Amino acid sequence: MDRRTLLKLSGLSLVGATAGCLEGEDEDTTTATTTEESGGGGGEETTTTEESGGSGESYTIGMVDSLTGSLAPYGERNTRGRELALAAINDVGIGSEGGSLRISVEDDESTNQGGVNGAQKLVNQDGVPLLIGSVGSGVSIAIHDSVTNDAGVVQISQNSTSPELTSRPELLRMSPSGAAKGQALASLVSDDGHDTVAVTWINNDYGTGLSDVFAETFESELGGTVAYNEPHDQGQSSYSGILTEMASTDASAWIFITYANEYTVMVNEGFDQGYNTTVDYYGAESTVADSIIENTAPGSMDGMKGITESAPQDQENYQNFVSAFEENYDATPTVWSAYAYDAVTVAALAIEAADEFSGEALSSVVRDVTRPEGEEVFNFEEAAAVLRDGGSPSDINYQGVSGPVDLDENGDPPGYYQIYSVQDHEYVFGDYITS
């Protein structure tokens, strides 16, 4: 990564529009980072080696990400956001002596137990005071309940959206709660003229939380009927039984609250049975992935609609992030890479602002650096300048590349959403919604 790109990320007044296409999951990644095996658990350590901020001490934090399994299409897109953030941070350096930030990464294998195992290694063996992760809401909750909460380690999820996270105030996240998304999805389906729907949801915290909000909104607030509302297990080779049960109802719309791999199987089986021509498909952000398009037949889900997280379209920060991303990776990012970028940046700001590199000290400042009472800063360099000039954590208000972070008392940021559809076997993004 050249210095011009680093300065674009670390030195401009940058806050964002969403991209009109998705990251290419199979694109080559070209960065100025090095990856080294860290000794067990499939871990790796990532740090910027060029243009680093000086010879000061190194600060190592942890990340549990989905590098394999059902959530791998989402974990892969986080890698580039993480690397861009590291480059910008280490170009400035942490503290007056320009220390470097390192991230030790463990694979959760898209399972709760895999996430707990990875987090235990990072916390108990590596001693990290702050951990970023994970994609899956159930994985993030399991890590919090089993590892980080009792250990006093700060946890920031980059992608988890289940409303259930709100009940755990010390579990912070960059992506907004799915509660507003579930309500928006119900309104979208109702506004399209559907009064009877069938819902299938993946049997975990993510699926339970989002389906509960959708069903409650659709029935109690919008007067509709949920004729079918059943879970499905992760990682199955066939879901024909679920689809047959949905087809036995009089629902005119089917809502899929599931992951990319599972949805791909459902789309292909639905196409074989001709269901896609008799009902309308709807989904949420987890049914948006390049792998779905690549592994389903053209026309198999044309006309599908849904609600996905987004960044505010009228702000510069995300647009500049997109430009730097495209310059380095020859691909356009989704907002999920921006959430990963912000998670790393907020972690670095907490390290910069804290009195010491400990979980207790980081926890005491991590919310403050994002709150609206402070001066708006649009990147790590601007924020660090305020802090090094005698400013306190509450004197800065980090405006993320994904939009204002503004972590509330529950650890939740505000939400920006966008309506998407599938046309000619491609995702098309339309109107914006603000929670």
Give pLDDT tens digits for 341-396. 999 999 999 999 999 999 999 999 999 999 999 999 999 999 999 999 999 999 99
pLDDT-derived band at 215, boundaries 50, 70, 90: very high
* pLDDT tens digits, one per residue of 108-141: 999 999 999 999 999 999 999 999 989 999 999 9
Contacts of 216 (CB under 8 A, 6+ apart): none
pLDDT over 90 at 53, yes or no: no
pLDDT (mean) for 287-293: 93
CA distance 85 to 1: 12
H-type alpha helices, 96-177: 112-120, 137-143, 149-151
The predicted model gives 34-58 an average pLDDT of 47
Categorize the per-residue pLDDT at 73 as very low, low, confident or very high, splitting at 50, 70 and 90.
Answer: confident
In this model, does residue 406 exceed pLDDT 90? yes
Name the pTM for this structure: 0.78
> Minimal CA–CA distance to 251: which of 274, 219, 278?
278
pLDDT of 335: 87
Kindly report the backbone phi and psi dihedral angles of residue 4, in degrees, each rounded to the nearest multiple of 5, phi listed first: -60, -40
Q: What is the dihedral of CA 150, 350, 332, 297, to 10 degrees?
A: 10
Residue 7: pLDDT band (50, 70, 90) is very low
For CATH 3.40.50.2300, the residue range(s) in the chain are 58-177+314-416, 179-309+418-434
What architecture is the 58-177+314-416 domain classified under in CATH? Answer: 3-Layer(aba) Sandwich (3.40)
Predicted confidence at residue 1, as pLDDT, reads 40
Pick the CATH number of 179-309+418-434 from 1.10.3720.10, 1.10.287.130, 3.40.50.2300, 3.40.1710.10: 3.40.50.2300
pLDDT above 90 (res 317)? no
- Residue 24, pLDDT above cutoff 70: no
